[in-house]
Chain A
Amino acid sequence: KNEVEQSPQNLTAQEGEFITINCSYSVGISALHWLQQHPGGGIVSLFMLSSGKKKHGRLIATINIQEKHSSLHITASHPRDSAVYICAVHQGGSEKLVFGKGTKLTVNP
């Protein structure tokens, strides 16, 4: 079993829909990252959080430390949101990032 599990693996949505991507982890962590990887391969850091909730534009990330679970929400999805979204965690105080396998999101117009 992977230390970081993401669901769903693939997600297809219509433009305007509300999207939720989930991340569960089995180890104690100090921080969790949400990353976006564009079709061309580039990776962008979306959020880093260790508690609570963060919002940036149409993106919202939440984390529940007790339940070892984080969610990434996209409101009013748009075709330009089509990408792979990757969850990654820092185990304990480690600097090492452990990655989930990613969720491929396709938003159709």
Chain B
Amino acid sequence: DSGVTQTPKHLITATGQRVTLRCSPRSGDLSVYWYQQSLDQGLQFLIQYYNGEERAKGNILERFSAQQFPDLHSELNLSSLELGDSALYFCASSPLGGSYNEQFFGPGTRLTVL
């Protein structure tokens, strides 16, 4: 158990809908990262927050947005869902920002868009 929690574990929804994925980092970790894993693209970095501020942005679609709250939990909002958004979404946390920190991954949320 990494100490990172994600809810829900599974989510099934329809095209055009909007969903919110939630991540609670390990106690004391300030950085939260969001990743998408699809069958054809593999793992891709979406976005990183550090202590409430956006720190780095990857291949995140405009239909997707994220935020990190004062209690350091983070939410990833996916809107106008398409079939291709079906994927595993992972969040990870690390104590600080920076590229020399180990990241601890949550169990993931499996999103299925029908």
Task: Please give the residue numbers on chain A whose beta carbons come within 8 Å of chain B beta carbons, in ascending order.
Answer: 30-31, 33, 35, 41-45, 48, 50, 86, 88, 90, 93-102
CA A42 to CA B107, docked complex, whole Å: 5
Chain B's interface: helix, strand, loop or mixed, by majority? Answer: strand
Contact B99 A101 (CB under 8 A): no
Q: Which residues in B have their C-beta under 8 angstroms from that of A45?
A: 102-105
Does the CB pair A44–B100 fall under 8 Å? no
Report how far A30 CA is from B98 CA in the complex, Å: 10
Partner of B99, one of A35, A43, A90: A90
One of A44, A90, A100, A102 near B2 (C-beta < 8 A): A44
Q: A42 and B108: CB pair below 8 A?
A: yes
Look across to chain A and name the residue whose beta carbon is closest to the beta carbon of B57. A96
Q: How far is B35's CA from A48's CA once the two chains are assembled, in angstroms?
A: 18
Given A86-B43, A94-B56, A99-B44, decide whether A41 and B100 contact each other with a Cβ distance below 8 A.
Answer: no
Q: Is the CB of B45 within 8 A of A42?
A: no
| A30 in contact with B105 (CB, 8 Å) | no
Provide the bound-state CA to CA distance between A44 and B42, in Å.
16
Q: How far is the CB of A38 from chain B (nearest CB, A)?
A: 10
The size bracket of the interface on B is 20 to 34
Contact A95 B108 (CB under 8 A): no
Give the complex CA separation of A48 and B107 in angstroms.
20
From the candidates B2, B45, B88, B100, name the one contacting A97 in the complex (CB within 8 A). Answer: B45
17 inter-chain pairs at a CB distance below 8 angstroms, sorted by A residue, are A30-B99, A31-B99, A41-B88, A41-B108, A41-B110, A42-B108, A45-B105, A48-B100, A90-B99, A94-B56, A95-B55, A95-B56, A95-B97, A97-B33, A97-B45, A99-B43, A99-B45
Distance in Å from the Cβ of B13 to the closest Cβ of chain A? Answer: 19
Q: Which of A93, A97, A99, A102 has the most CB of B within 10 A?
A: A97
Contact of A48 with B45 in the complex, beta carbons under 8 Å: no
Cβ contacts under 8 Å, A100 to chain B: 42
Within 8 A of A (CB), among B56-113: 56, 58, 88, 90, 92, 97-105, 107-108, 110
